[in-house]
Amino acid sequence: MRNARQVILRPVMSEKSTAAMAQGKYTFVVAPDATKVEIRQAVEEIFRVKVTKVNTQNRQGKLRRMGVHRGYRPDTKKAVVTLAEGQSIKFFEDLR
């Protein structure tokens, strides 16, 4: 089994994800090959909370150009984690 820090790469801080925190939903960028079970275990281990649901989204990398040179941003995977009623992640609470 992988280390929890290898599964959860970083939090997503956007207007939409910040608004979802009111309903107990937190968004993370995760490893592209991470499963929902691994994501659930990693969040529970790192933040010491109870996860009720995990939704994932694979995002295709966008085409980017610099003059005549073309390339793609890397593909990413995003996970929206719903916590049990009454629980929150303190890291995010300080940022609001």
pLDDT tens by residue, the chain, 96 residues: 689 999 999 999 999 999 999 999 999 999 999 999 999 999 999 999 999 999 999 999 999 999 999 999 999 999 999 999 999 988 766 655
Domain residue ranges in the chain:
4-85
Class of domain 4-85: alpha beta
Per-residue pLDDT, 92: 63
How confident is the model at residue 2, as a pLDDT?
A: 84
- Distance in angstroms (rounded) separating the CA atoms of residues 19 and 49: 20
Taking the C-alpha atoms of residue 87 and residue 14, their distance in angstroms, rounded to an integer, is 21
What b/e sequence results for 16-42 when a residue is b if at least 16 CB atoms lie within 10 Å of its CB, and e otherwise? ebeebbeebebbbebbeebeeebbbbb
